[in-house]
Each structure stands twice: as C-alpha cells, then as structure tokens.
Amino acid sequence: MGSLDRKKIILLVFTIFMMGITGIVADLYIRSIQRECDFLNDFNNFTLNEMRSISIGFQTYDHNTSEDTIQSFMLAKNLNFNAIKLWVGPNYYNYTKYNTTFLMQIFQAAEDLSLSLFISSIPTYEVGEQRGEFPYNATKIQLYLDWLEFTSSVSRNYDCIAAYNFWIVPFEKDTTTPGEKEDVRKVYLNITSHLKNIDPDIKITLFGDPAYSYVPLKSNEYSALGVQPYSLIKNDIQESRIRWLYEEAKKCKVCVFIDEIGFRTFDTSGRPNLAICDSEEIKYALILEYRNLFEVEMNIGWTYFMLKDRPNGIEGDFGIYSPDDVLRYSGTAFLQDI
C-alpha cells in the first residue's frame, strides 16, 4: 500500500472520527435544549384541550371557604380550562397559614376535576408597596418560608400540582445596584432551595413583567419564566409590547410562557389600573386576539388574569364571570370560540 493510500485512509478515519464527535456534541446540545423545554411541553400538556392552551387565574381571600374555592374550580372546568393559577395565602400578601383540611379539600377537588394547579405567591410583598423592605427583612422572609413549608408539605401528596410559581418583586431596572440585584437573587435562591429540600421533584417557575422587574434568574432550579405583558393602552392588547417582552424574557435562556394576560394595565410607575375595556363586546374581541396570537401564531401556553370580576365588578371589568357567578358576555369567547 502506497503512502498516498495510507494518507487517504488516515484522512478518512479522522473525518469519520470528527463526524462522530460532532454528532455526539450536536446530540448532547439537542438533548439539553429538549430538557430545557420539557417544562413548557408539560405546561402545554397540562392545559391543552382541543387547541386550548390557557389556564385561569383565581385568588382566594380570607372569607373564602373550601366550598367557595371548589365552586370556582367548577366554573373554570365548565369552560374547559385544564389548569388554574391559584393564589394561596389568605389574600396572597399575608402568609397566614391555612389549615391542612382546607388545602386537602381544594387539592383533592382539583384532582377530581382533572385540574392542574400552579401555586402562585408573592415573596414578602406588602399591600400598597412595590418593594416594601424586600429583600432585607429577614423576619418576613422567614414567615414566607414557613408558609411555603406548610403548603408544600400538603401539596406534595397530590398529583395535581404542576408547579410553584414565584412572582418577581418589582424593582427599578435602571437604578437597582449590582449589590441589590445580588441580594434579590440570593433570597430567591434561598426560597427555591428551601422548597426543593421539602420536595426535590417539584417544578418552580418565576413570573413577572420584565419591563418593571429585575429578573433574578441565574439558576437551573427554575423550569420556566412567565411573562406578564399587560397593555398600556385601553381597549388594545398592544401586540407589539407582548412581542417585545416575550423576546426580552427569552434572553434568560429558559423556556418562556405568557403567565398572565388580561384587562388591566400598568402605568409607568408599575401600579395596576383595572378595568381597561369600555364594554364586554370589546373585551370579547380582545380575548380572541389573544387566542390568535398565542395559540395560533406563537403556540405557547398562557394564563388569563382572573376568573371573576371584583365584588363591585362593572362593565368591562377584568373577570369572565360576574361576582354572582354568571358568565359574562366576554366569557363566551372562551366557551364558544377558544
């Protein structure tokens, strides 16, 4: 065999070897991307039903009994929702411990109705404040950890729990110092580690509006990031802002979904301004716009903000049911068209 033949053989072997290495690296990369997006696939599987990839927000209050909450679950199920973003803690600001019976009853009801629950909460957030003393009040943080420990010790016994969902406390992005950002990140990692120690298999997500919040996402402990792209324009979903915030969130290198959308807006200080629709007819049309954007074009999971209007709910308020559980005209968009 001549030297030229030997060179060809060596070159062929080297080429095959490099192709094999490249293939392995590519396969590992693809697998890492698949693992990264497993949660989003799970999210859509939880909530997908006949082209439906939406969940509904529902918050419990001090006066809610388990019967009240279960009735709301049934209202959501009647509209073919498969998931509920559930705010727990009496008014989701104060972490008074629910009794075990209450949690067991509502978790069992969710399982009986085949509803998945995203348990959502706000770390040490104060009523009427954007930041309060977060992240520097150790007492409040410990109270929050105690509440998480109590709730998760019950929820871990139920298959209906999709994930724990932590809201990102708003900070001024441009003025927050590197030290503050690191302190925020440490608190979230502490909260996450605490919950993982109780239930290692639990999925944890963060959610918030990237326009108003520093996103403390530097850990593979988080399965996904939920975006809250509220419109700043009345009677308009403000599609351009949705797309912008979605792209901003994707820079965090985790899977992204639309955590909360609905008919309230934030002004420039980040405070909510509720009831931004002039009529139920307009709200009906805007819900369909959301559907076409998220389910048809972007193919991502999304959560509608709230199941019911406020107790003094008015025309164009944010719910799809009236306070007395009557389906509003806008609610028929979910029933008939989505």
Q: What does the pLDDT read at residue 8?
A: 52
| Listed ranges 45-49, 132-136, 148-152, 209-213; the one with the highest mean pLDDT | 148-152
Q: Which residues of 257-268 are buried (b: 16+ CB within 10 A; e: fewer)?
A: bbbbbbbbbbee
Return the amino acid letter for 307: L
Q: What does the pLDDT read at residue 19?
A: 42
Q: Is the CA virtual torsion 61, 211, 177, 129 positive or negative?
A: negative
Q: Helix, strand, or coil here: 30?
A: helix
Q: What does the pLDDT read at residue 13?
A: 47
Domains and CATH numbers, the chain: 39-337 (3.20.20.80)
* Residue 35 or residue 268, greater confidence: 268
Q: Span 242-248, mean pLDDT?
A: 89
Rounded Cα–Cα distance for residues 155 and 149 (Å): 10
Rounded Cα–Cα distance for residues 261 and 239 (Å): 12
- 26 has pLDDT over 60: no
Q: Is the CA virtual torsion 110, 111, 112, 115 positive or negative?
A: positive
- 159 has pLDDT over 90: yes
Q: What does the pLDDT read at residue 107?
A: 94
Residues 72-97 have pLDDT tens digits of 899 988 888 888 888 775 444 454 55
% of the chain at pLDDT higher than 90 = 14
Q: Span 307-314, mean pLDDT?
A: 78
Q: Pairing between strand 224-227 and 272-274? A: unpaired
* Residue 59 or residue 253, greater confidence: 253
Range in 34-48, 189-203, 217-231, 307-321 with the lowest mean pLDDT: 34-48
Q: Pairing between strand 116-121 and 161-167? A: parallel
- 298 has pLDDT over 80: yes
Yes or no: say if 166 and 191 are a contact pair by the CB < 8 Å rule. yes
Yes or no: say if 115 and 76 are a contact pair by the CB < 8 Å rule. yes
- 211 has pLDDT over 80: no
- 172 has pLDDT over 70: no
* Residue 336 or residue 63, greater confidence: 336
β strands within the chain, DSSP E: 54-59, 83-87, 116-121, 161-167, 204-208, 224-227, 255-261, 264-266, 272-274, 302-304
Yes or no: say if 149 and 99 are a contact pair by the CB < 8 Å rule. no
- 22 has pLDDT over 50: no
* Residue 102 or residue 158, greater confidence: 158
Yes or no: say if 304 and 270 are a contact pair by the CB < 8 Å rule. no
